[in-house]
Amino acid sequence: MDYFGAIDQGTTSTRFIVYDEEHKQVAQHQIEIKQYLNQPGYVEHNPEEIWKSVVDCVNGVSKNFDISLLSSIGITNQRETTLAWRKSTGEHLHNAIVWQDTRTQDICDEIQTFNELKDEFDKTGLPIATYFSLSKIIWLVRNVDEVKHALSEDDLCFGTIDSWLLFKLTGKHQTDITNASRTLLYDLHKLEWNKIILERFDIPVNTLPTVKPSLSTFAKESSLFGNIPITAVLGDQQASLFGHKGFNQGSVKNTYGTGCFMLCNTGDKLVVSTNGLLTTVAYQIENQSPVFALEGSVAFAGASVQWLRDNLGLIKKSSDVEKLALEVKDNGDVYFVPAFSGLFSPHWDSSARGTVVGLSRYSNKSHIARAVLESVAYQTDELLRSLELDVGERENKLLVDGGMVENNLLMQFQSDISSLQIQAPDIKEVTAFGAGLASYVYIKKTELKDIPSTKSSQNWNTNMSVESRNMYISKWNKAIEKAKNWI
């Protein structure tokens, strides 16, 4: 029996999971990581805590499984989160700035004024936003003395979490093309770092990692795994698409995690969205052309439920939200827009803020809980509508994964409001599985067409009238407009 492993370093936790050649989970260890929210708009992680969580997860699995039996290792990671460290020592120079962080809005506003760079930024497939890595790099250079010193001494590495883990594992400064495509610094046409953007912001290209195909040999041996090769690296949402086996053009998946992320495989076509979606790389196999995707990104999905739990105290644990929401038959005309750090796709409005509208004396905490869950479905539906406009057709099926898939109320409402079938796979941790599978596919030289499709564990089918659907969406659109232009 062959086995493959996956490091899954996410926004709220780290996992190490082992699968066998029949795609069954064999062993897992998971550790939550701390969020540092030191000022309004700030979201940080401690890089050493992240590295330690990886080591501890691998050691946790090794108590019950012989790691030496693994054929390969894949890595998947929270994307856009950015940090700096010394090339000579591996010492991190500041906490990692997380993708949700909005401290760099002024820098983004400044970048917007450089009209001569518009065509260059268009080549990245991304809008100028705090979400991506560029403004975080600029902030680190301008505000952290240790980063300035390392830069002046030509002893500086910038990278996303995959790069940090690869450096700790191998001493090499590398990334993969999916993570590079999320930085606002990568030219999707030339498939290289955009030198014009780098020069304009005085970022030496040697501070950035070498970009490799997602499925390739990143290391033949490492500090943690010995001579087991690391043969795949994918950003978490791309790993999810790979785990769903969304290899065909037109395959669409949505992950319901901290945020909500929808990817549509567009094949070898680099589709430029005119409806607020992002152009990104889905994956690349060594010696082959990249496979591209359109992506819609929502900042707050499961994080909105955490807000109900931690900030309002309406529930004791996240799983209680469905029970509370089911105490009422509908939302009572209450709508919740979770624009805590602005709105991502398809609005891209950094001035928006969270809003609850439609409250009356009749409204209670169950209506608010239901509105929070429904907000996730509305935001996903906006992404699906944008995708339909961009590609000219609408899928009749949505592949789903993530922690919120266990919420039956949400999944049924998603099917109802989007009028399509929702399919959840029988594999729970699709993101980790996708990274591990990619590493195994590469090492075994397997053709993607020969990989059997993932079985579904549950389906939801629409059960709502057109009139009700249109009424709900109309009210949601009104709520969205109330949330915009707050700042």
Whether 47 is in a domain gets the answer: yes
What mean pLDDT comes out for the span 101-106?
Answer: 91
Handedness of CA 205, 208, 212, 217 (dihedral sign): positive
Q: Within 10 Å of residue 340's Cβ, how many Cβ atoms? A: 18
Whether 222 is in a domain gets the answer: yes
Whether 223 is in a domain gets the answer: yes
The CATH number that applies at residue 81 is 3.30.420.40
Confidence of residue 26 (pLDDT cuts 50, 70, 90): very high
* Domain that includes residue 25, residue range: 3-244
Whether 100 is in a domain gets the answer: yes
| C-alpha to C-alpha distance for 44 and 143, rounded to whole angstroms | 15
What mean pLDDT comes out for the span 47-70?
Answer: 95
Distances (CA, A) of 209 to 84, 164, 166: 11, 10, 10
User: Is the pLDDT confidence value at 427 over 80?
Assistant: yes
Whether 231 is in a domain gets the answer: yes
Count structural domains, the chain. Answer: 1
Q: Convert the pLDDT of each residue in 360-373 to its tens digit.
A: 999 999 999 999 99
Q: Within 10 Å of residue 449's Cβ, how many Cβ atoms? A: 7
Whether 56 is in a domain gets the answer: yes
Q: Convert the pLDDT of each residue in 267-312 to its tens digit.
A: 998 999 889 899 999 999 999 999 999 999 888 888 899 899 988 8
Q: Convert the pLDDT of each residue in 448-472 to its tens digit.
A: 888 877 776 789 999 999 999 999 9
Q: Which residues on adjacent β-strands are paired with residue 58?
A: none
Give the residue, 429 or 147, on which the prediction is more confident.
147
**Environment class of residue 2 by beta-carbon count within 10 Å: exposed (0-12), middle (13-18) or buried (19+)?**
middle
| C-alpha to C-alpha distance for 179 and 202, rounded to whole angstroms | 21
What mean pLDDT comes out for the span 188-209?
Answer: 95
Whether 339 is in a domain gets the answer: no
| C-alpha to C-alpha distance for 294 and 171, rounded to whole angstroms | 33
pLDDT at residue number 450: 82
- What 3-state class would DSSP assign to 364? coil
User: Is the pLDDT confidence value at 395 over 80?
Assistant: no
- What 3-state class would DSSP assign to 44? strand
| C-alpha to C-alpha distance for 329 and 202, rounded to whole angstroms | 57
What mean pLDDT comes out for the span 389-418?
Answer: 89
Amino acid at 237: Q
Q: For 117, how many CA atoms within 13 A lie in the half-sphere containing its CB?
A: 22
Whether 238 is in a domain gets the answer: yes
